[in-house]
Structure 1
Amino acid sequence: MFYRNAKRFVVGPAVNTVFRPWVKGLDNIPSEGAAILASNHMSFSDSVFIPVVVPRPVRFLAKNDYWKGRGFAGKWNRWFFDITGQIPMDRSGGAASQNSLAAGEGALRRGDLLGIYPEGTRSPDGRLYRGKLGVAQLALRTQVPVIPMALIGTDKVQPIDRTVPRIHRVGLIIGEPLHFDAYYPNADDRFAQRAVTDKIMSQIMRLSGQQYVDMYASVKKGTGARGPGGPPS
């Protein structure tokens, strides 16, 4: 209820008035049932624009740091992310990251739309970086469609080093759903997961027009490449 009312009466009108987002391919979002929305990631504000544009509620895998803050700001973040149904994502790797993915899997099995950024973190320079395997693991385990998406212009609104957004028109291009039936029997095979991830990234690149870099964005940033990828940061 909070999500819907905030979108309808507060966030949605404000975003639509100030940033005038345009969208192509909205009919590729299913009216019901689970799907993974896989998008490029260039700005913190990406996770604001997608829910405003997409008619159905979208749950995101959000980095668990948002639940660890102290003081009033920390309490506010925890309350906001919990009330809007977001899922904390541990990016440290190993069992912790897999447990976080399991929560995302649960949301998909309940029929939700799950937003994920396969690069695992924001692009440091506007290019599209190699996808991590989390998106493929979720898609193959749940056998739900993956809908590739491309955000346009959000890096102009709020680049990594900027706290206050700039006013700039943004767009969202939504591609046709991808199905990976041929890979379902090998859902736990990392070669199958890599093939699926690369197919998803190829479609995101086609939609966004970004230059592709065969390197993890986290490596480019110097923060390592652990974790299966997915949350906004």
Structure 2
Amino acid sequence: MLSTVAYGVIPPVARAVWRPTVEGLHHVPMSGPVIVASNHLSFFDSVVIPVVVPRKVAFLAKSDYFTGTGVKGTLVRAWFEGLGMLPVDRDDTRAAIASLDTALDVLGKGGAFGIYPEGTRSRDGRLYRGRTGVAHLALTSGAPVVPVGLVGTEDIQPVGANRPRLGRVDVTVRFGEPITVAGEYDGVPTGRARRELTDRIMAAIAGLSGQELAGVYNERPADAS
């Protein structure tokens, strides 16, 4: 299958081209369900994390990337499937619920799921407030959350750029200690538990990325890709 071949080829080639600095990779469990929660600076974040983690990390991607036709459509689909990405229709009003169901399915099968609690890319470099979907996934599945701080990925493919830069870019990927949830929020009202856990996760990400805190939610522009 083309996507299987792509999965074997893309990570080593990408590591050779961009040569990211990776710290704390030992914090990512090599088996069992895990949520990889990261800050979000560039479209390429969903490439950088999967190519440095030695197990498949599933991220969501626009369904349009999976429906192209001809040779180009086939290659694009193989690229995204090879990186473990899963299609989601972001224009569907039910997409948010569907994406959480997809994530829980991945975790239920013992997989790794990648998520950006900010919801969309930061266009000014600040770290925005986390949305509680990440905590919902952790509390529902019982999976640990590994916080990730990305630094410099916006230089690989800046917002608005159609293609990534080739050659060495100063990128660092920092993985923090897993945040476990089992038994920690027993008896805590659901809404409060989700908010508190989300804030813990975002604090860990901030410590890893060194970003300035925005203190507000980040809204996706209507014309964002």
TM tier, smaller: 0.7 to 0.9
* Two-structure CA RMSD over aligned residues (Å): 2.7
Is the 1:141–1:184 Cα contact (8 Å) retained in structure 2?
Answer: no
Please show how residues 194-205 of structure 1 align to structure 2 within 5 Å: 194-205=195-206
TM-score, normalised to structure 2's length? 0.85
Deviation of 1:19 (Å): 1.2
Q: CA deviation at 1:75?
A: 5.6
Counterparts of 1:68-87 in structure 2, within 5 Å, are 76-78=75-77, 80-82=79-81, 84-87=83-86
Moved more, 90-99 or 26-35: 90-99
1:186-214 deviations in Å (ceiling 9; x for gaps)? 58x22221111111011000000000112
For residue 25 of structure 2, what is the amino acid of its counterpart?
A: L
Is 1:98 the counterpart of 2:97 in the alignment?
yes
What is aligned with 1:215?
216
User: Structure 1 residue 154 and structure 2 residue 144: aligned?
Assistant: no
Residues 105 and 217 (structure 1), Cα distance of their counterparts in 2 relative to 1, 3 Å cut: same
Q: Which residue of 2 aligns with 1:16?
A: 15
Secondary structure of 2:54's match? coil
Aligned to 1:123: 122
What is the letter of the counterpart of residue 6 of structure 1? A
Measured at CA, do residues 64 and 196 of structure 1 come closer, stay the same or move farther in structure 2, by a change above 3 Å?
farther
Q: Does 1:144 align with 2:138?
A: no
d(CA) in 2 for partners of 1:43 and 1:135?
A: 19
The farther-off stretch of 165-174 and 132-141 is 165-174
**What number of residue pairs does the alignment pair up?**
222
AA partner of residue 131 (structure 2): K
Q: What SS does the aligned partner of 2:47 have?
A: helix
Measure how far apart 1:89 and its partner are.
3.4
* Alignment CA distance shift 1:207-1:83 (3 Å): closer
Distance 2:78 2:3 in 1: 12
Identify unmatched segments of 5+ residues in structure 1. Answer: 224-231
Q: 1:182 aligns with which of 161, 181, 184?
A: 184
What's the secondary structure of 1:197's corresponding residue?
helix
Name the residue aligned to 2:36: 37
What one-letter code is carried by the residue in structure 2 that aligns with 1:199? R
Q: Deviations over 1:108-156 (max 9, x none)?
A: 0100010111111111111111111111110110011000001111011
The alpha-carbon deviation at position 18 of structure 1 amounts to 2.0
Question: 2:2, 2:78 within 8 Å by CA — same for their partners in 1?
Answer: no
Give 5+ residue unaligned stretches, structure 2.
none
Q: Shift in Å at residue 84 of structure 1?
A: 4.9
C-alpha contact (below 8 Å) 2:47/2:83 kept by paired residues? no
Q: CA deviation at 1:162?
A: 1.3
**Cα distance, 1:107 vs structure 2:** 0.6
Change (3 A) 1:64 1:5: closer
Identical amino acids, percent of aligned pairs: 45
Aligned residue for 1:212, secondary structure, equals coil
Letter of the structure 2 residue corresponding to residue 151 of structure 1: L
SS of equivalent to 2:185 = helix
1:46-65 to 2 correspondences below 5 Å? 46-65=45-64
Contact 2:149–2:209 (CA under 8 A) maintained in structure 1: yes
Q: Which one-letter code corresponds to 2:6 in the other structure?
A: A
